[in-house]
């Protein structure tokens, strides 16, 4: 599945743990394939924290995870050979400035996605596995829908 480097968005992780979701099986499949692949897939810290927030929220999941369970899921991914963390680099401010100049309409709730997109961009990762169509607004990203 990963012929090129790829990052995962929060929603794919959420669907992969939510057995009640109609997207559970395909998203879990993508996660499991990535865990086994020797070339890493990536998470960002903001995706990890958003996963912790959403997966433990009783209004989002019918059976929310405990914080410890949610963190364990992230740790299993990060401890596998198929996942690694992307970090901001010394170029972060410059890449953020460039991206904001290219996309001046980005605001509000889109700032979270902007952060993920900028960290990916500065690290040379252009593919994101997500069900969130908002990522199409970033022309430097190739959006991969795990259901297609």
pLDDT of 4 reads 77
What is the CATH number assigned to the segment(s) 8-144? 3.40.50.1010
pLDDT of 3 reads 52
Q: Are 31 and 12 in contact (CB under 8 A)?
A: yes
pLDDT of 37 reads 87
DSSP 35-97: HH-SSPEEEEHHHHHHHHHHHT-TTT-SSPPPHHHHHHHHHHHHHSTTEEEE---TTHHHHHH
pLDDT of 39 reads 86
- State pLDDT tens for residues 61-103: 899 999 999 999 999 999 998 999 999 999 999 999 999 999 9
Residue entry with tokens 């605001």:
107
The pTM score is: 0.93
Q: Which structure tokens are listed for 140?
A: 């430097």
pLDDT of 99 reads 98
Spell out, as residue ranges, where the chain has pLDDT lower than 50.
1-2
Domain boundaries, the chain: 8-144
The sign one gets for the Cα dihedral 21, 109, 59, 47 is positive
pLDDT of 2 reads 46
First vs last C-alpha separation in the chain: 12
């Amino acid at each position: 599945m990963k012929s090129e480097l790829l990052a995962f968005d929060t929603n794919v992780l959420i669907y992969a743990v939510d057995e009640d979701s109609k997207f559970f099986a395909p998203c879990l499949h993508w996660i499991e394939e990535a865990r086994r692949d020797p070339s890493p897939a990536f998470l960002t810290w903001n995706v990890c924290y958003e996963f912790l927030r959403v997966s433990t929220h009783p209004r989002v999941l019918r059976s929310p995870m405990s914080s410890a369970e949610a963190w364990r899921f992230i740790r299993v991914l990060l401890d596998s050979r198929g996942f690694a963390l992307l970090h901001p680099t010394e170029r972060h401010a410059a890449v953020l400035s460039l991206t904001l100049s290219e996309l001046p309409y980005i605001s509000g709730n889109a700032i979270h996605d902007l952060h993920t997109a900028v960290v990916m961009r500065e690290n040379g990762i252009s593919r994101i596995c997500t069900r969130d169509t908002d990522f199409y607004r970033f022309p430097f990203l190739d959006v991969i829908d795990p259901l297609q």
